[in-house]
Amino acid sequence: MLLKSKFDKGEFAILAEMEPPKGVDVSGMVSNAQRVKGKADAFLVPEMNNAVMRMSSLGAAMILQQKGMETVMQVNCRDRNRIALQADLLAGDACGISNVMAVTGEDPSFGDHHQARSVYDIHLPELLQAIRGLGEGRDMAGIELSGSPDFLIGSTINAGTSAPELEIEEMNKRNF
């Protein structure tokens, strides 16, 4: 957990974004990651960035983890309901992925599957609270887990909105 230790020390961290493939050939992603392995502190694996269907963040992060690279798995509200999000988070932790970035996710109209429907069962603050709750040993229904994940949790804000300070204020108020 190099990334967490850097944050704990107040040090600057470098993340390399590794876009999962649109298919099953991971050789390009792995090759690109290996070129900067040792220079980047962790590899951020986006979850279908720009609403373009690709290999999941969970799957791609697991592949990089198996190659000895620390990863940040991205999860988004757009594609999964609360049950599936929690299941993927638990699977990620069980596979050694200890860093999570929660995002809203772009509308499918921006991507390559225009007929797809967004899920948005929960919104970003609820997803962040769910991740925290899992770490405290309970799922979103309040049911106790048998073992709990220990994630370093991050998120993003949209600085292009009319009031980005409200997003920051909301996150600070909820103590994320």
- What is the CATH classification number for the domain harbouring 141? 3.20.20.220
Per-residue model confidence as pLDDT tens digits over 114-139: 999 999 999 999 999 999 999 999 99
Per-residue model confidence as pLDDT tens digits over 4-60: 999 999 999 999 999 999 999 999 999 999 999 999 999 999 999 999 999 999 999
Q: Is residue 5 part of a domain?
A: no
Q: Is residue 6 part of a domain?
A: no
Per-residue model confidence as pLDDT tens digits over 56-102: 999 999 999 999 999 999 999 999 999 999 999 999 999 999 999 99
Q: Phi and psi at residue 124, in whole multiples of 5°?
A: -50, -50
Residue 44 DSSP one-character state? E
For residue 40, the tally of other CB atoms under 10 A from its CB is 20
Q: Considering its fold, how many domains does the chain have in total?
A: 1
Q: What three-state secondary structure class fits 42?
A: strand
